[in-house]
Amino acid sequence: MELSAQTIADYLKGEVVGDPDIKVKSVARIEQGKPGDLCFLANPKYENFLYSTKASVVLINKSFEPKEPVSSTIVRVDDAYQSIASILDLFNSMKSAKKSGRSWRASVAFSAKLGKGSFVGAGAYIGKKSAIGAGAQIHPQVFIGDNVSVGENSILFPGVKIYNGCVIGANCIIHSNVVIGSDGFGFAPAPDGSYKKIPQTGNVVIEDDVEIGANTTIDRATMGSTVIRKGVKLDNLIQIAHNVEIGENTVIAALTGVAGSAKVGKNCQIGGQVGIAGHITVADNTRVGAQAGIMSSVKKEGETLLGSPTFDAKEYLRAYSVFKKLHKQ
């Protein structure tokens, strides 16, 4: 597939500086750009590559003015970072057309329902009374238990496991080896020092437009539901425990663990390897740096937190400037 600079500009509502007819067929990082590539500049730290890249077309912000001549054709857009995401989506949609139909090697219960235009790949299993929405893509080796609902146009990549009774919304993307609905970590100590398993009788509800990275696990609730709200984006290798609620449009990076019954607000940004204790709440619009530990509720909206236990990022940096020198005193 090839796109001209003018076509890209029209699609992004941008303007061309240079040759409007020059064509690109792939997207690359600006430091690795070569003829036929489309690149972008959003971070000023990479500005020097703008003047040396061999890419055919480069997206830049309308507010940015190059300090040196640029050999590539430029497309000026309002937001280069958002624009490259749109272009990547366009390339991806053109090369990966949806499939439909059911493989003869799939196992689908008689009482299960497959929506119009859905796809079920080889080796997939769909249990009793489960419903697959129109256009949903169930790739090979996916397991879907009984009484599961998968919404329209959702994509489940190979190896996904959805336990009984869970609900997946529309337009979700669930990457390989995600496990949704496994038992929460619930055990009651007995007088003899052993532990009695507490039955996990709830489910997991994932709302629309959620993306879940590979090898992430989301436990079913002890009672009620573990809930992932609309628009949440979860990275790879995240653990979400029983009865957790993640608010709308929150993003969480890899290796984060959220303990049971924690409530994370909407529009939060959680860095990698963050630990969130159980039975606490995190206010809306909270930002948490990597490897932080949230051990008590965050009540004030919009805070930026660092450290373990966490506290205000500016205060943390001031404190860090002192305690990193303590061994020298």
| Tens digit of each residue's pLDDT (9 = 90 or more) over 276-322 | 999 999 999 999 999 999 999 999 999 999 999 999 999 999 998 88
In angstroms, the CA 208 to CA 251 distance is 15
Q: Which residues pair with 252 in a beta bridge?
A: 234, 270
Average of per-residue pLDDT values in the chain:
96
The question of whether 139 is a catalytic residue gets the answer: no
In angstroms, the CA 14 to CA 327 distance is 55
Which of the residues 139, 242, 279, 327 is marked catalytic? Answer: 242
Confidence of residue 93 (pLDDT cuts 50, 70, 90): confident
- Does position 108 have pLDDT exceeding 70, yes or no? yes
CB 104 within 8 A of CB 124: no
Q: What is the mean pLDDT of residues 101-120?
A: 98
CB 113 within 8 A of CB 38: no
Q: Which residues pair with 43 in a beta bridge?
A: none
Task: Work out the number of other CB atoms within 10 angstroms of the CB of residue 237.
Answer: 18
The pTM score is 0.87
- Does position 97 have pLDDT exceeding 80, yes or no? no
Q: What is the mean pLDDT of residues 5-33?
A: 96
Lowest-pLDDT choice from 5-19, 33-47, 82-96, 231-245: 82-96
Q: DSSP E strands: which ranges in 30-92?
A: 37-41, 57-61, 73-77
Task: Work out the number of other CB atoms within 10 angstroms of the CB of residue 192.
Answer: 6
Confidence of residue 96 (pLDDT cuts 50, 70, 90): low
Task: Work out the number of other CB atoms within 10 angstroms of the CB of residue 181.
Answer: 24
Q: What pLDDT score does 206 carry?
A: 98
Q: What pLDDT score does 95 carry?
A: 67
In angstroms, the CA 162 to CA 151 distance is 13
Q: What pLDDT score does 326 carry?
A: 84
Would strands 73-77 and 15-17 be described as parallel, antiparallel, or unpaired? antiparallel
In 3D space, the residue among 79, 121, 95 whose CA is nearest the CA of residue 27 turns out to be 95
Q: What is the mean pLDDT of residues 261-287?
A: 98
Q: What is the mean pLDDT of residues 105-125?
A: 98
CB 57 within 8 A of CB 80: no
Q: What is the mean pLDDT of residues 147-173?
A: 98
Q: What is the mean pLDDT of residues 198-208?
A: 97
Encoding tokens for residue 161? 């496991």
- Does position 327 have pLDDT exceeding 80, yes or no? no
Q: What is the mean pLDDT of residues 168-192?
A: 97
Q: What is the mean pLDDT of residues 11-25?
A: 96
- Does position 105 have pLDDT exceeding 90, yes or no? yes
* Domains of the chain, first to last: 3-95 (3.40.1390.10), 101-318 (2.160.10.10)
CB 219 within 8 A of CB 182: yes
